[in-house]
Amino acid sequence: MPRIALVNDDRWVDPVERTAYVTNILTEDGLLERAFEALGARPERVAWSDPGIDWTRFDALLIRQTWDYFERFAEFRAWLDRIDGAVHVVNPVEVIRWNADKRYLVDLAEAGVAAVPTRVVERGDGDGSLAGRMEAAGWNEVVIKPAVSGAGRETYRIARADAAAREALWQARVAAEDMLIQPFAPAIVDSGEVSLVVIDGQATHAVRKIAAEGEFRVQDDHGGTVHPHAPTAAECALAERAISCAARRTGREIAYARVDLVDAPDGPQVMELELIEPELFLRQHPPAAERLAQAVLSGVG
């Protein structure tokens, strides 16, 4: 019986409080547990930060809700170094390292993949005001966010008219960590964001995430809601191009991905390519859990 670790952060392994948020996590992992068991494997939910775990006792590690990795990034990278080469990891460690920093969007754009335009400002590079950077780029409204982050952490929407008033915020963020500047996409509040799930090279399902009234962040942490969505041929083709680019950059196969897309005048653009710990919305399409379990087990030798 292959032993499969469903790797979470320690908040979700045995949560006491069963909120709707937690229930979704347990439902998703429950679907995977049953899928693995039906295929003759033995799944176990564990925390990546648990110092007592011998990772080599598992045949494969499937990264799940490690949603604290960007808050403990140095520790998480050290953990990746320890498991690299010691056990089969899905997605592979090389993919995780590349995808952990959102400047991968620049890599996608350079490879010809339609992605939200992204400018990277290194930590400590306080030269040039935010208003000046916006003017140089020709952007009247932007979103600023950390290069390593998730769940909308330290993500702000700023109009050029307000940039001077937000300069102190901008300088504080750049002093603390690498930051990204992107043009604000109006479609994110008009029609939301499409999350397209691809498992073992096949688009399995998609959802549309809608921001709460007055918000632009679509995550449920900020009041966003999830709705059914039938992906278009253009969305599927773009997702496949993004994943192929990631595979070429890292030299490794990608078992699962969630590609977040936003509408633009020339067609969909990649807003984020989630290859580490994406919510896969398996509860919206349970057969995808079996497909993911099969993909993981196919790599177990």
Coil/strand/helix, residue 107:
helix
pLDDT tens per residue, range 190-213 = 999 999 999 999 999 999 999 998
What rounded mean pLDDT belongs to the chain?
Answer: 96
Does residue 301 carry a pLDDT above 90?
Answer: no
- Statement: 119-183 belongs to CATH 2.60.40.2550: no
According to CATH, the superfamily of the domain at 104-115+187-275 is ATP-grasp fold, B domain (3.30.470.20)
Do the two domains 104-115+187-275 and 119-183 of this chain adopt the same fold? no
Task: Write the CATH number of the domain with boundaries 3-91+290-298.
Answer: 3.40.50
Q: How confident is the model at residue 238 (pLDDT cuts 50, 70, 90)?
A: very high
CA–CA gap between residue 145 and residue 155 (Å, rounded):
4
- List the domain boundaries for the chain: 3-91+290-298, 104-115+187-275, 119-183
Query: Quick one: what percent of the chain has pLDDT higher than 90?
Result: 92
Burial 252-290 (b: 16+ CB within 10 A, else e): bebbbbbbbbbbbeeebbbbbbbbbbbbbbbbbbeebbb
Pull the structure tokens for residue 226: 């999830």
Q: How confident is the model at residue 56 (pLDDT cuts 50, 70, 90)?
A: very high
| Average confidence (pLDDT) over 32-49 | 98
Angstrom CA distances, 7 to 67, 91, 206, 241, stand at 10, 12, 23, 28
